[in-house]
Amino acid sequence: MKIHISFFLLFLLLVSCGKAKRIVIPEKPLGWKIMETQSTASLRGLSPITEQIVWASGSGGTWLRTLDGGQTWESGIIDGLDSVDFRDIEGIDANTAVAMASGQPAVIYKTIDGGMTWVKKYQGPEEAFLDGMVFYKNTGYAIGDVVEEKWMVLETKDLGETWQWMELSPPGPVGGGSFAASGSGILADEDNIWFASAGKDSKIYHSADNGFHWDKYNTPILQEEDSQGIFSMVRIDPDGIVAVGGDYTQADSSYNNCMVSLDKGKTWNLISGKLPSGYRSGVEFYARFGWLITVGPNGSDFSTNRGDDWERFSEEGFHAVKIDHTTTSIWASGAKGKIARLVY
């Protein structure tokens, strides 16, 4: 009898533990919790590492960091460059981050002491314009506008200490470029690199072998003017990618502003359902709830069906949206020093 009771108690314990671990998915996001950053910069660079540690960067050479979930923020100017817009930042840990400037000078800086000092690790040619970075483990890539009919694809294999312009960077059209949209126009994993071109020639460039060979794919997203095209991409599974964009001069226009690929970026289709409610400059995937979150200057939308339909959940506008490295929290950044965390 004692043995049977022991097994019964063990069974109840296992059932109880299983129930405790069950994830309850909210119906929708409740909105954003706005943080007090004391900054007035336009913040396009955003890199949350955990729920507590977040890096950001932006106009006026600004960098910011919180170690307590946004309750307090440290900030400063990167190497005195108070006229430079650092539109992308990649946090490595609480003390280490790599920041990229868009415009001139086309520079990449790194800090290893929590932002106290920044060391220049790369400077491009006079005509260079850098658009975004992505890191996968110790390897990182940066994309820049076309220079001498060749895309600038930079590579680092030592967490941003040294950068090299890849010899096999793909050819590009004269005047070709990407939108410097918080680094979300470039993706990478073990062997793959994707980046999006912008404007009237908004395409997807893809390498499946770490940049040795490149393919170029057409897309149906809005691309009739230089202000239009792809602004942000996110992977939703090994084969699926969702991309958003539109026209940054028409914040409320939803026309052809979202598309999906189910074959790693080779073919793209506009979504068949309800579109995001305006031009969108950032998109992120929250796998925990199966949510896609997209942001732009006129508000925020979410999707529960892999981007086929979108619903507006907040009037708060942002430039960028990113998930932390532990995939437990979603953050957004925007104009006038605004940083927020998703509430649900």
Helices (H), the chain: 2-21
pLDDT at residue 148 above 70? yes
Q: What percent of the chain has pLDDT over 90?
A: 91
The residue-averaged pLDDT of 276-294 equals: 98
**Res 23: pLDDT:** 73
pLDDT at 18 over 70: no
- Minimum mean pLDDT among 10-24, 190-204, 227-241: which range? 10-24
Q: Is the pLDDT of residue 102 over 90?
A: yes
d(CA 120, CA 233) in angstroms, rounded, equals 28
151-198 residue pLDDT tens: 999 999 999 999 999 999 999 999 999 999 899 999 999 999 999 999
Question: 76-97 pLDDT, tens per residue?
Answer: 999 999 999 999 999 999 999 9
- List domains and CATH numbers for the chain: 25-343 (2.130.10.10)
* 77 DSSP β-pair partners: 62
Alpha carbon 104 to its chain's center: 22
Bridge partners of residue 20, in order along the sequence: none
Give the tokens for residue 344: 């649900």
Q: Retrieve residue 286's tokens.
A: 């929250």
| 316-332 pLDDT, tens digit each | 999 999 999 999 999 99
The Cα 32–Cα 328 span in angstroms is 15
DSSP character at residue 198:
B
Length of the chain, in residues: 344
Among 157, 195, 183, which Cα is nearest to 89's? 183
Query: Over 50: is that where the pLDDT of 6 sits?
Result: no
The CA–CA distances, whole Å, from 67 to 42, 63, 222, 326 equal: 21, 14, 40, 15
For 288-313, what is the mean pLDDT? 97
For residue 312, list its beta bridge partners.
Answer: 301
Band of pLDDT at residue 21, cut at 50, 70 and 90: low
Contact 107, 123 (CB under 8 A): yes
Element spanning 132, H or E? strand 130-136
In this structure, the strands spanning 228-235 and 215-217 are unpaired
Give the predicted TM-score (pTM) of the model.
0.92
What are the C-alpha distances in Å from 93 to residues 57, 143, 234, 293? 15, 23, 22, 24
The upper half-sphere exposure of residue 72, i.e. CA atoms within 13 Å in the direction of its Cβ, equals 3
